[in-house]
A and B are shown apart, each in its own frame.
Chain A
Amino acid sequence: TQLLEQSPQFLSIQEGENLTVYCNSSSVFSSLQWYRQEPGEGPVLLVTVVTGGEVKKLKRLTFQFGDARKDSSLHITAAQPGDTGLYLCAGGQGTQFYFGTGTSLTVIP
């Protein structure tokens, strides 16, 4: 059962543009992680949010956890080619994690 839906599934933008990726669920999570994955490599943890309404910033990346802890968003400002990759959200319920469907981002120079 896929508990987390991400949108959009694919995104191709020009360098310098802004974008937002959404991660939605009908389930409540105790934590929400965002990862970025390069082809053939394992996902790399970007951030963990645990409090409803929490906002975390990591340079040009802004992460928000929904008030009800069911959804999250990732906003990238002034995207760069180095941001290219597969972005995955994961909802945590204790020690079990449920992964989203993924958003494949391509930033064109």
Chain B
Amino acid sequence: KAGVTQTPRYLIKTRGQQVTLSCSPISGHRSVSWYQQTPGQGLQFLFEYFSETQRNKGNFPGRFSGRQFSNSRSEMNVSTLELGDSALYLCASSSNRGGVGYEQYFGPGTRLTVT
């Protein structure tokens, strides 16, 4: 099975712009989660989508939004970019493996730099 893919891998934007990141989960996985990773804050949960519905949401401002399509692919959008949004954005897909419950598998991430 192909793993989680994320596009683009690298992105440079300027303050005030907006950006859209894309994630394709592992085939058959219906849950997609997004995380922001920075050296100072570690891995911070943004939101989780399941069957096109946002099921969980982290503590991020409304500038961060997402959606999921019927094929489980997901996008996240950040509007009015700030310097502090520079980070590695990770997407993870998960499924219930019965005895071990849910397991998350991560994509390679999108490195966003805001200048």
Binding site for B on A (CB under 8 A): 2, 30-31, 33, 35, 40-45, 48, 50, 88, 90, 92, 94-102
Query: What's the nearest-Cβ distance from chain A to residue B58, in Å?
Result: 9
Chain B count of residues within 8 A CB distance of the other chain: 29
A40-B88, A42-B4, A99-B43 given; A92·B109 CB < 8 A: no
B42–A97 touching, CB < 8 Å: no
Number of interchain pairs (Cβ within 8 Å) = 65
Docked Cα-Cα span, A51 to B2, in Å, equals 29
Cβ A96 vs Cβ B103 within 8 A: no
Give the CA-CA distance A40 to B94 in the complex, in Å: 21
Cα of A63 to Cα of B103 in the assembled complex, Å: 16
Q: How far is the CA of A13 from the CA of B103 in the complex (A)?
A: 30
3 closest pairs, A vs B, by CB? A42-B106, A99-B43, A48-B100
Please tell me which one of the listed residues B6, B42, B88 contacts residue A102 in the complex, with CB atoms under 8 A apart: B42
Chain B residue with Cβ nearest A35:
B106
